[in-house]
A and B are shown apart, each in its own frame.
Chain A
Amino acid sequence: DQQVKQNSPSLSVQEGRISILNCDYTNSMFDYFLWYKKYPAEGPTFLISISSIKDKNEDGRFTVFLNKSAKHLSLHIVPSQPGDSAVYFCAASGLGTSYDKVIFGPGTSLSVIP
């Protein structure tokens, strides 16, 4: 059973507009959430994270929102740039510590159209 879900396998956005990537999780024990960006044949690159004690974390063009009651988080990229085109993985960890194993969602492939 998938504990971390990303229901949109792909997303296309015009350059300069906002990209919104969604993620849902099922395990209420998760307390730390991460977003990674991945290019083909490379390892994931960490983008941004959020602890369950917060509902928003912002870093430059990237903002992550967390709705604990809905077990939902989203990554906003604004403005989107062609270099943002990649696969984005939502990940969750926890079970009592922020440094437990990380469970990844299936990923969303983002294409930013110039």
Chain B
Amino acid sequence: GAVVSQHPSRVICKSGTSVKIECRSLDFQATTMFWYRQFPKQSLMLMATSNEGSKATYEQGVEKDKFLINHASLTLSTLTVTSAHPEDSSFYICSASSTAYGYTFGSGTRLTVV
């Protein structure tokens, strides 16, 4: 079946630094990729939707300058958390969609900003 590889699985960074999270579809081409974040004991919240070669569409309340999304190819999307602060600590998950496999999720990245 379809596999989405997301890494790193865990990252700890200092406040003010930037962190990049990668999301790759390993054996299929994803027409669209989605980025979610999950706060403890809360649901997955959609942050943004990205299509290859075009600008990401951000959900209301998500700062596009803070959460930079690059979707350079049909198999790779990256999320960069810029100038991270402790309140950005969360669990980030990507999802790739394709006509063949529907939605496939990555395993998530636990970001801790200290």
Contacts and interface: CB of A to CB of B under 8 A. Distances in A.
B27 to A, nearest CB: 16
A43 B103 contact: no
Interface string B31-75: 110101000001111100100000000000000000000000000
A107 B40 CA distance: 12
Given A43-B6, A44-B93, A101 B105 contact: no
Nearest to B31: A99
B97 A45 contact: no
Given A99-B32, A101-B34, A102-B34, A43 B108 contact: yes
A60 to B, nearest CB: 16
Q: How large is the interface on A (under 10, 10 to 19, 20 to 34, 35 or more residues)?
A: 20 to 34
Contacts of B95: 102
Chain B interface secondary structure, helix, strand, loop or mixed? strand
Contact of A41 (B42, B49, B91): B91
Chain A interface secondary structure, helix, strand, loop or mixed? loop
Given A89-B44, A104-B44, A46 B103 contact: yes
A2 B6 CA distance: 28
A73 interface: no
Nearest to B105: A43
B51 to A, nearest CB: 11
B43 A106 contact: yes
Q: How large is the interface on B (under 10, 10 to 19, 20 to 34, 35 or more residues)?
A: 20 to 34
A41 B105 contact: no
Contacts of A59: none
A54 B37 CA distance: 31
Nearest to A4: B43
9 contacts: A36-B105, A43-B6, A43-B106, A44-B93, A46-B104, A49-B102, A98-B102, A99-B32, A104-B36
Interface of B: 4, 6, 31-32, 34, 36, 42-46, 49, 91, 93, 95, 97-99, 102-108, 110
Interface of A: 34, 36, 41-46, 49, 89, 93, 98-99, 101-107
